[in-house]
Amino acid sequence: MGEVHHASGTTSIKGTGVVAGVAYAPAVWVRPRPALPEIGTPVAEDARDQQFERFTAAADTVAGRLAQRAETVEGVAAEVLTATVGMVNDRGWRRTVKKNVAEGHPAEYAAVAATQKFVDMFEAAGGVMAERTTDLKDIRDRVIAELRGEPEPGLPDIAGEGVLFADDLSPADTATLDPAHVVAMVTELGGPTSHTAIIARQLNLPCIVAAGPALRDIVAGEPVLVDGALGTVTRNADEESSRTAVAQFRERAAVIAQWRGPARTSDGHRVQLLANVADGNAARVAAGTQAEGIGLYRTEMSFLSTSTEPTVEEQAAVYRKVFDAFPDSKVVIRTLDAGSDKPIAYATLAEEENPALGVRGLRMARDNEGLLLRQLDAVALAAEGRGEDAPTWVMAPMVATESEAEYFAGLCRERGLTAGAMIEVPAAALMSDRLMPHLDFVSIGTNDLTQYTMAADRLSPQLAYLTDPWQPAVLRLVKETCRVGELTATPVGVCGEAAADPLLACVLTGLGVTSLSAASTAVAGVGAQLATVDLATCREVAAAVLDTSGADTARELAREMLLG
Ligand code: PEP
Ligand code: MG
């Protein structure tokens, strides 16, 4: 995403930081991918079967190796590896290779062409599906290396400590990396939801993705300073100050590890700290943290690869897994936010000029109300039997008008559910006084609120300077929402990425936000930071950042005021 040369002789390369943390160690590159074969001369007809046998043997070997590795690891790593084995064994993929071989292509090229077909399909689907293409290319490369008798591409053995560099890490690579040796990860490509990011979060390894081609100049063995919070890789950094930065980070990490909830400011003002989850597994991880409950269960994430709508009972079984992880605490479940960056086969409209501004979230109910009704029935069914101390709150994404809020709240109440709306469209924030009387709570989705306030695509790396929740314009909308929340005694949460930033969490508290919901790994960092400031300071900092000219100035000012 860009390279900045500093007067001190250092150069920093900027990417998207996905896990905070500071590390300083020599660069280690993942073993290169094999060169891909060009289309060659056709194989004689009587030798084609043998080509397919070669392919099958190589694919089986790769699958066997990955399956073996899956047995040596646990948790998400094992799941990722098992999923990869499933892809190597995918019948559709193997059938396409067979067809290509039958047309006369050698095994290597047949595998490349078959993979490309699926890559094209996934890319056309866009969003999260497109990020899965790394997985497909990874198994292709492993099979090709095997066919040629070359070493398996991927992680080298690392002596001592190293910062791992790659174009993009495959799930199989990330699943087996050893955090005793890998102290940070940086990839040229990838996104915040790529496997690299998922595993880095799980291992709590500083991680930067989408750092761009400037990375390629970094040679193996060169010491680099990585700051996961800032998303920077610094070359030629001074060794002593780098080591100090790492030590300071470790000290702070130790304070965070010691922190115990529930969250409150130094003068005792309570802020409810909750976790964002995508499924039952993530909810169980969250239950092991200091989170007091779930503040955002993104239900659509459970159905990304589901082609037909699950029945009410099937959906209820999925939701129950999340509820069961928090049997005695609040769970805020969000109805399907299909569309745009989260395509769901059974819910998303096929073609839209402008999907982020299209029929997504609650808007889908206009043409397909049954989908929403069935989901709410499933939520009510799954929530049956949950006690008074385990409230089930339901909210709709992409609410923009009073009548949408009223409509959704009515459906929830018919089913005995507590009704809320996400505030992620600027119109909803500005009309808070009309929306809130219909609702039991609201939760501000700062990711989309920022995207729509700044008119900047949240997935665009070029526009990251605009899609920054520190933008005072966004914070002013948060303030307006909180003002009405206080007047109407409506709880106002924040569940976008903003809630995961410890300093911004203090600002949001100062603005009047009553709960913060963030990725499990961010919860303790936010709680520990809140414990260091009193409410009056939070309010002072909030007032000051609202009056700045932009995101960078706002962030800097808050840093100065809160950290000195
Ligand atoms: C948001 O928009 O801030 C939000 C929490 O929802 P999502 O990121 O799932 O769109
Ligand atoms: Mg959103």
Q: What residue ranges do the domains of the chain occupy?
A: 3-31+155-254, 45-148, 259-563
Superfamily of the domain at 3-31+155-254: Phosphohistidine domain (3.50.30.10)
CA 65: distance to chain centroid?
28
Give kind and range of the element (H or E) at residue 23: strand 22-29
In this prediction, residues 197-226 reach a mean pLDDT of 89
Question: Distance between CA 193 and CA 131 in Å, rounded?
Answer: 8
In this prediction, residues 412-431 reach a mean pLDDT of 97
341 CB near ligand 1 (under 6 Å): no
HEC sequence for 382-429 = HHCCCCCCCCEEEEECCCCCHHHHHHHHHHHHHCCCEEEEEECCHHHH
Q: Does 260 count as an annotated binding residue?
A: no
Q: Give the ligand with the smallest distance to the CA of 298.
A: 1
φ/ψ of 327, rounded to 5, equals -70, -20
- CA atoms within a 13 Å half-sphere pointing along the CA-CB vector of 281: 11
Distance 422 CA to ligand 2 centre (A): 8
Question: Distance between CA 508 and CA 538 in Å, rounded?
Answer: 8
Q: Does 424 count as an annotated binding residue?
A: yes
Return the pLDDT at 161. 93
pLDDT of 371 higher than 60 = yes
Which residue's alpha carbon is at the smallest distance from atom 1 of ligand 1? Answer: 445
Question: Distance between CA 293 and CA 391 in Å, rounded?
Answer: 10
Q: Is 495 a catalytic residue?
A: yes
Which residue's alpha carbon is at the smallest distance from atom 9 of ligand 1? Answer: 298
Instruction: List, for residues 459-499, the tens digit of each pLDDT value.
Output: 787 788 899 999 999 999 999 999 999 999 999 999 998 99
pLDDT of 355 higher than 60 = yes
pLDDT of 502 higher than 90 = yes
- CA atoms within a 13 Å half-sphere pointing along the CA-CB vector of 514: 13
495 CB near ligand 1 (under 6 Å): yes
45-148: what fold?
Enzyme I; Chain A, domain 2 (1.10.274)
Q: How many CB atoms lie within 10 A of CB 216?
A: 11
> Mutate which of 398, 448, 468 to test ligand 1's pocket (most atoms within 8 Å of Cβ)?
448
> Lowest-confidence range among 135-144, 146-155, 353-362, 428-437?
146-155
300 CB near ligand 1 (under 6 Å): no
Q: Does 447 count as an annotated binding residue?
A: yes
Distance 356 CA to ligand 1 centre (A): 12
Q: Does 458 count as an annotated binding residue?
A: yes
Q: How many CB atoms lie within 10 A of CB 29?
A: 17
> Lowest-confidence range among 116-125, 321-330, 359-368?
116-125
Select which of 207, 412, 482, 495 is catalytic.
495
Distance 447 CA to ligand 2 centre (A): 6
In this prediction, residues 132-153 reach a mean pLDDT of 89
Return the pLDDT at 176. 72
Report yes or no on whether pTM surpasses 0.85.
no
Query: Which ligand 1 atom sits closest to the C-alpha of 397?
Result: 6
Return the pLDDT at 379. 98
CB burial of 31-55 (b: ≥16 within 10 Å; e: otherwise) equals eebbeebeeeeebeeeebeebbebb
Return the pLDDT at 1. 53
Query: Which ligand 1 atom sits closest to the C-alpha of 497?
Result: 3
CB neighbour list of residue 527: distance below 8 Å, 6 or more residues apart: 259, 261, 263, 273, 290
Return the pLDDT at 465. 86
Which residue's alpha carbon is at the smallest distance from atom 10 of ligand 1? Answer: 448
pLDDT of 2 higher than 70 = no
Q: Is 482 a catalytic residue?
A: no
CB neighbour list of residue 412: distance below 8 Å, 6 or more residues apart: 376, 394, 418, 419
* 2 in Cβ contact with 190 (< 8 Å): no
Q: Which residue has the higher pLDDT, 170 or 531?
A: 531
> Mutate which of 424, 446, 449, 454 to test ligand 1's pocket (most atoms within 8 Å of Cβ)?
424
Q: May I ask the CATH architecture of the domain 259-563?
A: Alpha-Beta Barrel (3.20)
